[in-house]
Chains A and B, each alone.
Chain A
Amino acid sequence: MSESTTTEVIRTEGLVKRFGAVTALNGVSLYLRQGEVLGLVGDNGAGKSTLIKILTGFLQPDEGRIFIDGREVRLRSVSYARSLGIETVYQDLALVNELSVYHNMFLKRETLLNPLPLLNNWRMRRLAREYLESMGVNIPSVDTEVAQLSGGQRQSIAIARAVYSRARILLLDEPLAAMGAKEGSLIMNLIRTLKNEGQVSIIMIAHNYAQVLEICDRVNLLQHGRIALDKPAGQTSVEELTELVMREYRVGANQRQQPLAGR
């Protein structure tokens, strides 16, 4: 384990997160290797989004340790996590409908007309246009309000925003949700491209096991706030993952029925 630490960009040990009476994470230990795509699966409410929000500095864990590049860190804010090269595409995308595409892309990383404290809108507009074009993102104009874009376009903007800032670690929370087959495959292609370039290491949450197995190097299953399975994608299957999740569901259903049966 100690020799592999050098190539691990993320390692967590025993992460615990409670929301009042709800224990969302109950000792999550996982790792992410340099250049790897890790698929994170689990039922709704398993704590996947919570885990991502901790790794991006948006939430603070109640217990547990986080190592980035082998060094223990306290991810106290989104800005600090970003300074370590961690970028996130949240499940809700975190786009502001009222703002243009380029203002969204540069939100919280605006370029200014130095020495004036004014926004350099020309530069941001140009950079956004160039970058989105180079990625093949098809939108009417970078001046368009985000409210007017389709689901796939919004997802593309959110991913482009995260990748643009030279992310080393990319956290994608359900990038394929609520998307048609065509738009979904476009996003899959983008993730594949990023993977082949090998610059970023990615944790991706998804519900479609087939897609996860297709694109990820390794799969982690989150259950009851813990990692219940950690296997290379080649050594597991849609059936195994489905079976594990369904078994939990059946156990849960049985437990709910038992008190009634006993009476």
Chain B
Amino acid sequence: MAENVLSAPPVQTEPEPTPERPNPWLRVARLFLRQREASIVVVAIALIIYFQFSNQAFLSTQNIRTLSQFVAATAIISAGEVMLLICGEIDLSVGQVYALAPFIMYFANQAGLPLLVGLILGLIVCALVGLFNGLITVMLKVPSFITTLGTLFLINGLTLTISQGFPVLTPSEGLINEILGHASYSEIIWAIAITIVMQVVLSWTRWGLHTVATGGNLLGASEVGVNVARIKIGNFMLCSVLGGFAGILEAFRITSIDPLAGGTDIMFMAVAGAVIGGTALTGGLGTIVGAFLGTLVLSILRDGFTLLGVSAFTFDIILGAAILVAMILNVRLRLWREAGRE
């Protein structure tokens, strides 16, 4: 090979980091802030300190358990939404799948099947819903915002029909129930495990790399040979399955199955958590760990304000404002970081 055939003029990637007097604190702070999840960790810690000072009960065993329950189901859904958001799509129907899956499990169990088989059937149905969402979006080129808005109503109606609108008791098989959500902290352990596994999938597997490529440059990725349709459809299925699994865990925890569980509330919480955690709604960017932390922040806010005895109405106002502030900060910090490296 010839020497220096291709040497283009080097581009500066970082601003001269204050050459004369490098303030070590500033540099550490900058390095930290360059991490995608950094800002959200700062916010979470600040909130924990604030609420602990306001009310000593905040870090009590009792409340930590409550907090973990707030976080768990939403964080699992959030992991699925991040994968979809990264490849440039969204699933609005995941909260309805969350309510449907435990009913499928329940009816399979009523029909004489073991609980675990029912659970798997429930997840298969979720995967089919995801497949449906994906096929309509990718093959018929309907924006996923619309596709999944349709399935949102469709699945909700389906769940209300098969349940006739009444909650039922979650079937009990002892150990299975304990492992799958009923034992204290078992739900949050699932959430953490799923977060770790999904983060590994995102950062360390072909699937994750191709998901980022699909969202970052759809045409380019397909020109290179990435099967973008498969990636998108697969992530729709993944998101639905995670949503259904979260619903099943929750059913085991609260020992009843409610046709009105989940819904748009939990879905929007999950999306908000993902975005607060650094996932771009425009695709190509995001982390699962960030989404977990974003969900944690939202849960801390909800739980903390409840402890402070803030009324539900006031709470919604504060929560809404907090989401806006967090998102504005997120966008600003990203712009700041990007400006910092040009």
Residues of A within 8 A of B (CB): 53, 56, 58, 77-79, 82, 88, 90, 92-99, 103, 107-108, 110, 112, 117-119, 121, 132, 134-141, 144, 148-150, 152-153, 156, 159-160, 182-183, 186-187, 189-190, 193
Q: Does B4 contact A (CB under 8 A)?
A: yes
| Segment at the A interface, from B41-49, B186-194, B202-210, B250-258 | B202-210
Residues of A with C-beta under 8 A to B3: 136
CB distance from A16 to the nearest CB of B (A): 22
Residues of A with C-beta under 8 A to B200: 118
Instruction: Judge whether B284 and A138 touch: CB under 8 Å.
Output: no
Q: List 16 A-B contacts (CB under 8 A).
A: A78-B222, A92-B220, A98-B284, A107-B210, A107-B221, A108-B225, A110-B209, A119-B204, A121-B204, A132-B6, A136-B5, A137-B7, A153-B11, A183-B9, A186-B8, A189-B2
Interface majority SS (helix, strand, loop, mixed), chain B: loop
Instruction: Judge whether A138 and B8 touch: CB under 8 Å.
Output: yes
Residues of B with C-beta under 8 A to A156: 6, 8
When C-beta atoms are compared, the residue in chain B nearest to A193 turns out to be: B2
Residues of A with C-beta under 8 A to B219: 92, 94
Query: Given the complex of chains A and B, what is the CA–CA distance between A60 and B320 in angstroms?
Result: 50
Q: Does B59 contact A (CB under 8 A)?
A: no
Instruction: Judge whether B6 and A140 touch: CB under 8 Å.
Output: no
Q: Does B224 contact A (CB under 8 A)?
A: yes
Residues of B with C-beta under 8 A to A119: 204-206, 209
Q: Does B226 contact A (CB under 8 A)?
A: yes
CB distance from B232 to the nearest CB of A (A): 15
CB distance from A125 to the nearest CB of B (A): 13
Query: Given the complex of chains A and B, what is the CA–CA distance between A244 and B224 in angstroms?
Result: 34
Query: Given the complex of chains A and B, what is the CA–CA distance between A97 and B338 in angstroms?
Result: 13
Residues of B with C-beta under 8 A to A132: 6
Interface centre among A132, A148, A150 (most CB of B within 10 A): A148
Residues of B with C-beta under 8 A to A186: 5-8
CB distance from A150 to the nearest CB of B (A): 5
Query: Given the complex of chains A and B, what is the CA–CA distance between A156 and B11 in angstroms?
Result: 14
Residues of B with C-beta under 8 A to A183: 8-9
Contact of B213 among A58, A96, A141, A182 (CB under 8 A): A96
Query: Given the complex of chains A and B, what is the CA–CA distance between A135 and B3 in angstroms?
Result: 7
Q: Does B30 contact A (CB under 8 A)?
A: no
Residues of A with C-beta under 8 A to B56: none
Residues of B with C-beta under 8 A to A117: 205-206
Query: Given the complex of chains A and B, what is the CA–CA distance between A219 and B310 in angstroms?
Result: 77
Query: Given the complex of chains A and B, what is the CA–CA distance between A153 and B10 in angstroms?
Result: 8
From residue 1 to 38 of chain B, which have CB atoms closer than 8 A to chain A?
Answer: 1-11, 13
When C-beta atoms are compared, the residue in chain A nearest to B285 turns out to be: A98
Instruction: Judge whether B1 and A98 touch: CB under 8 Å.
Output: no
Instruction: Judge whether B11 and A110 touch: CB under 8 Å.
Output: no
Instruction: Judge whether B223 and A78 touch: CB under 8 Å.
Output: yes
Query: Given the complex of chains A and B, what is the CA–CA distance between A88 and B225 in angstroms?
Result: 11
Given the known inter-chain contacts A97-B284, A98-B212, A99-B216, please indicate yes or no for A58 contacting B222, CB distance below 8 A. Answer: yes
Q: Does B217 contact A (CB under 8 A)?
A: yes
CB distance from A82 to the nearest CB of B (A): 7
Query: Given the complex of chains A and B, what is the CA–CA distance between A193 and B213 in angstroms?
Result: 31
Given the known inter-chain contacts A98-B212, A117-B206, A119-B205, please indicate yes or no for A150 contacting B9, CB distance below 8 A. Answer: yes
From residue 272 to 311 of chain B, which have CB atoms closer than 8 A to chain A?
Answer: 284-285
Instruction: Judge whether B341 and A148 touch: CB under 8 Å.
Output: yes
Query: Given the complex of chains A and B, what is the CA–CA distance between A119 and B201 in angstroms?
Result: 10
Residues of B with C-beta under 8 A to A139: 8, 10
Residues of B with C-beta under 8 A to A193: 1-2, 5
Query: Given the complex of chains A and B, what is the CA–CA distance between A153 and B224 in angstroms?
Result: 18
Instruction: Judge whether A88 and B216 touch: CB under 8 Å.
Output: no
When C-beta atoms are compared, the residue in chain A nearest to B218 turns out to be: A96
Instruction: Judge whether A96 and B221 touch: CB under 8 Å.
Output: yes
Instruction: Judge whether B205 and A148 touch: CB under 8 Å.
Output: no
When C-beta atoms are compared, the residue in chain B nearest to A189 turns out to be: B5
Q: Does B342 contact A (CB under 8 A)?
A: yes
Interface centre among B7, B212, B222 (most CB of A within 10 A): B7
Instruction: Judge whether A140 and B216 touch: CB under 8 Å.
Output: no
Contact of B223 among A58, A149, A182 (CB under 8 A): A58
Query: Given the complex of chains A and B, what is the CA–CA distance between A96 and B224 in angstroms?
Result: 10
Instruction: Judge whether A95 and B220 touch: CB under 8 Å.
Output: yes
Instruction: Judge whether A190 and B284 touch: CB under 8 Å.
Output: no
Query: Given the complex of chains A and B, what is the CA–CA distance between A141 and B4 in angstroms?
Result: 16
